């Protein structure tokens, strides 16, 4: 990893930990058994633009923040951020645009979050309908925020992949 990747990755990891700790009550949505913290996916989504390793690291930071604030079930769901972030970064490396990578990762994110809650006693309906569909909606909302931040920061940080096709 280059120094630039480490620096931006460290900042995004700090945000991924800080968002649940500082904003979990303010930007949190609770529809039991589903919960969401608006903007919590934005750091890992932006990390996808840096590298797969950065996205993986920021996703782990997100899980740590949610473990501290909301406990093991939400932390297990947040650990999925590392997976969808890694996949999204690989998609970007293949030359696809940021919005396309975000769209490709929606079903991966939703299915994995639904699967990861099942060992915690969630039945199929609660896991796949409530958590899965809730995650899809949350992913899309955070994607819109991430795209806005991307276009705002891109002139400064030059996050865009130079070979993006779309």
DSSP letter at 122 equals -
Domain that includes residue 123, residue range: 3-157
- Confirm whether 108 is domain-assigned: yes
> Which residues, 6+ apart, have CB-to-CB distance to 137 below 8 Å?
none
Residue 32 is assigned to a structural domain of this protein: yes
Question: Does 141 map to a domain?
Answer: yes
Q: Is residue 81 part of a domain?
A: yes
87 within 8 A of 106, measured Cβ to Cβ: no
In a domain, 164, yes or no: no
pLDDT value at residue 160: 57
106 domain residue, yes or no: yes
Predicted pLDDT of residue 162: 44
| Numbers of helices and strands, H then E, in the chain | 7, 2
pLDDT tens digits, 35-54? 999 999 999 999 999 999 99
Give the residue among 64, 65, 55, 56 at the shortest CA–CA distance from 20. 65
What's the CATH number where 63 sits?
1.10.1760.20
At 28 the pLDDT is: 84
- For residue 166, is it within any domain? no
What is the C-alpha separation between 81 and 84, in angstroms, rounded?
5
Number of independent structural domains in the chain: 1
3-state secondary structure 41-68: CHHHHHHCCCCHHHHHHHHHHHHHHHHH
- DSSP, collapsed to helix, strand or coil, labels residue 30 as strand
For the chain, list residues with pLDDT below 50.
162-163, 166
Is omega for the bond preceding 112 within 30 degrees of 0, making it cis? Answer: no
Within a domain: 115: yes
Structure confidence at residue 156 (pLDDT): 77
């Amino acid at each position: 990893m280059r120094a630039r990747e480490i620096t931006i990755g460290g900042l995004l990891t700090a945000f991924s930990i800080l968002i649940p700790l500082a904003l979990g009550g303010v930007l949190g949505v609770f529809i039991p058994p589903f919960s969401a913290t608006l903007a919590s996916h934005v750091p890992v989504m932006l990390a996808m633009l840096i590298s797969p390793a950065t996205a993986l690291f920021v996703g782990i930071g997100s899980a740590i923040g949610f473990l501290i604030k909301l406990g093991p079930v939400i932390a297990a769901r947040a650990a999925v951020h590392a997976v969808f972030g890694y996949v999204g970064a690989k998609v970007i490396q293949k030359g696809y645009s940021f919005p396309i990578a975000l769209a490709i990762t929606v079903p991966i994110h939703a299915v994995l979050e639904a699967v990861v809650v099942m060992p915690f006693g969630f039945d199929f309906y609660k896991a796949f309908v409530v958590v899965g569909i809730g995650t899809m909606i949350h992913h899309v909302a955070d994607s819109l925020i991430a795209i806005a931040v991307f276009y705002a920061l891109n002139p400064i940080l030059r996050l865009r992949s130079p070979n993006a096709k779309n």
